[in-house]
Structure 1
C-alpha cells in the first residue's frame, strides 16, 4: 500500500478510513460509480476495434489487417481484438459499448500535450493545476449525505483527479512484504510523540487493508504489466464498494505507444485491460449494476503501418464504456471511412465524436450534473459540445 504525500491533508480531512465519506445518490435513487482508465501512449483504435467490414481495411492496414482472422465480431462492420473476450461478453450482454473515431480537442501529436489536454479537460495546453474529474466532484448536486469523494490510483495521482476537491490516493506497493508487526510498531511509536502522523498512519493502514482485501499478492511490474493492471483495478474496486467509500476513481495504465511490433504488444496490453475491467465487475459485485467505466487515451495512431510493424502518432481512436449502468451492445459515433480523402490530414482516422460529449453525457445522466456546470467548470469553453444522451441505461 502506498499513500501519496500530497493527499495526507485530504486523508485527514476526509477520513480515509471511510468515517467521513458519505453516500450521495443520483435523483434515480441509485448509488452510481464512475471510473476513468487512461491508457497513456496512444491506443491504435483500428487494432483494438478493427473495422473489418470496411472495404478499405485490408488495403490501408497491410500486415496489421491479419487481425481480421481472429477478431471477435461485434457488428457487420466492427470486431474487437481477440485479446478482449471479457469485453466482448459484456458488449453482448448490453454492458459494453465502443465509441469509435473519437478524440479530445487536441489535434497535434505530442504525448505530453495530448495527455495534459485529455486529463485537464481544457482546450489548450498549459493548464495542469486540476483535472476534469476533480472539478466534476465540485459540481455534483448536493444530496443529504456528505459530498461524493474521488480516488486516484497510482504512485502519482493522475492529473485528471487532481485539484481542489479532496481525494483519496492509493497505489499497490511494489516493495517486498514487511514484517506484519511493523505497522503496529510504527503506530505505537508515533501515538504519543506525533498524534497527527499517528492518525495518518492509522487511516493509511486501514485504507491499504481495504484496497488489498488482505488477499492479494503484490505485483512487481509497472502499470503496463497486466498483473499490475488487475491489482490496481481490484484495489480501486475494494475501496469503491465500501458503503461510504469513494464513488469516482481514476487509474492510468502506461505503455501504449506501439511504434514497433504492435500486434504482440497490444495482445499483452489489451489482455491486461480486459482482465482489469473483469476485475472491477467481479470485485464490485452488486455495485457493478450502477457502475460506468470509461477507457480513454490521448490520441490514436496512423492508419497505415510504419516499417517496423507498428504505427505512429495519429488522431482519431476508440473509447470503451463498460459497466452495469451502461446502455451497451452498440458502436457509438459516425464512421468516417478509410479512403484517402476521408482521413485526417491524409494519414489518421478522422475524429467524428468529441470525447467531452461522451463524458458530459455520463455526468448528466448518471449524476444529474447540469449542462451549465459541465461547460463552465468541468470542461471550460465547451458550450458548443452537447452531451451525448442515452449512454446510461
Structure 2
C-alpha cells in the first residue's frame, strides 16, 4: 500500500516532473547574475569543435576527420579569425560569437593527465589535483560563496552531480517517464492535502515546479532542456547557479556524424536557454567544458581516442566575447603531449575560477582559493565577463 508521502511523489512525477529532492524551494536571490555549467561527459574533441585550420599539421593528422573551411559548396567550418574556425553544426553559437556573446579557450585542460573518464570527471567536478582527493564539488563551494537562504543551485539531471554536492544546499530536477496526470487528478489530490500542514507545502512546491517545467515531455530534446532550465533561472526568486549534464562525447568511431549531432544538440540547447531567459540572458554566463580532449591524430575506426587538451566555451549576454583565447602549442610531432595529444597550455581551473567569479560579482582570487584549494596556486583567468 502506498503511503501518502509516496503517493504525493508519484502524483507529482506523473504531473510532468520527477522531484529528486522532496521539495524545491529556492534562495532569496542575492544577485541577478546567473552562472551555468554544462559538462560534456565523455571527452569532447576540441580540435574539431574549434578547428585550427591554419595549423599546417592539422589536416594530415586528421585525414578524413579534418573539418574543411575552403569549399563554399558544402557545409564547412565557420571562420572565427585567421587561425581558428567553428564546427558547422554550431550555427547559433557562431551568431553569439559574432555578436560578442561567445568566446573560446583552446588547448585547455584540468590538472588530470591520465585518460580515465571516471577519474577525469572526478578531478573536473571536485577541483582537486588528483582523483578522489576532494569529496565535495567546486560548484557547491561556489554556491556557498553566493549565499542566500535555502537552495540557490540546481542541476538538470536525475541526481545531484558531484560538482554540486557539498555543504551548500542544492537540488536537481529531471523529467519523469511516467504519463502525465490529468487535471482532475491533480485537483483531487490538491483538495486531499489542503488541510495537511506538512503535505500541503510539499504539494504546492511540486505544482510550482510543474508550472515552471511547462509541457516538457519525458523524452527530453535539447530545446526542451534549454527551455526548462530557463524557466527556473528566470524566476526572480529562482536559482542563480545551475548545472546541465550532457553525454555521448566519447567518439572512438564514426566521429564526424556523431560529433555533428552532439554539437547540433548543444547549440540548440544553449539557444533555447538564451531565447527563453529573456532579459536575464544579459546577466548570464554559460561555461561548457569536458574532462579531457582527444588524440590529435585519427584512429583506425574513423574516430579519436582519449587525449589531453581540448576547448572550453563561454557563452552568454554577460560574456566579453568575439575572440579565441589560445597560447597555441602547435600540432607537429614535437609539439604534442606524449607525442599524441594537444598539449595543454591553459588551466581549466583558472578559467572556471575567473568566469565564475566575474559572472557572479565575486573576487577572482578568493574564488580561486575557495574552489581549488587542493590544486595549489590557481591563477584565475580574468577579463572574461563584462562588469
- Structure 1 length-normalised TM: 0.88
Name the SS of the counterpart of 2:282 in structure 1: helix
* Distance in 1, Cα, partners of 2:345 & 2:95: 26
Find the counterpart in structure 1 of residue 263 from structure 2: 270
* Distance in 1, Cα, partners of 2:19 & 2:136: 16
Partners of 2:65 and 2:256 within 8 A in 1 = yes
Is residue 2:123 matched to residue 1:117?
yes
Partners of 1:148 and 1:247 within 8 A in 2 = no
- Relative distance call for 1:281 and 1:345 in structure 2 (3 A) is same
Is residue 2:284 matched to residue 1:282?
no
Q: CA deviation at 1:146?
A: 4.7
Find the counterpart in structure 1 of residue 46 from structure 2: 45
* Distance in 1, Cα, partners of 2:270 & 2:368: 29
* Distance in 2, Cα, partners of 1:363 & 1:220: 31
Partners of 1:134 and 1:162 within 8 A in 2 = yes
- Relative distance call for 1:377 and 1:163 in structure 2 (3 A) is same
Map 1:317-332 to 2 at 5 A.
317-332=310-325
Partners of 2:45 and 2:293 within 8 A in 1 = yes
Find the counterpart in structure 2 of residue 182 from structure 1: 185
* Distance in 1, Cα, partners of 2:19 & 2:346: 35
Find the counterpart in structure 2 of residue 203 from structure 1: 205
Q: CA deviation at 1:337?
A: 0.6
Q: CA deviation at 1:383?
A: 4.4
Map 1:1-393 to 2 at 5 A.
1-5=16-20, 7-8=21-22, 11=23, 16=25, 18=26, 21-25=27-31, 31-68=32-69, 69=71, 70-127=76-133, 129-140=135-146, 146=149, 149-192=152-195, 195-210=197-212, 212=213, 214=214, 216-218=215-217, 220=219, 227=221, 229-371=222-364, 373-393=366-386
**1:269-313 C-alpha deviation (Å, 9 max, x unpaired):** 100000111011100011111100000111100111111101111
**1:202-253 C-alpha deviation (Å, 9 max, x unpaired):** 202211211x2x3x341526xxxxx2x3222211111110111101100101
What count of residue pairs does the alignment treat as equivalent?
A: 366
Partners of 2:44 and 2:294 within 8 A in 1 = yes
Deviates more, 1:286-295 or 1:171-180: 171-180
**1:136-191 C-alpha deviation (Å, 9 max, x unpaired):** 11123x6xx75881111111122111222112321123333232333333344445
Name the SS of the counterpart of 1:109 in structure 2: coil
- Relative distance call for 1:124 and 1:183 in structure 2 (3 A) is farther
Q: CA deviation at 1:105?
A: 1.1
* Distance in 2, Cα, partners of 1:292 & 1:373: 19
Partners of 1:54 and 1:338 within 8 A in 2 = yes
What residue ranges of structure 2 are gaps of 5+ in the alignment?
Answer: 1-15
- Structure 2 length-normalised TM: 0.89
Q: CA deviation at 1:346?
A: 0.6
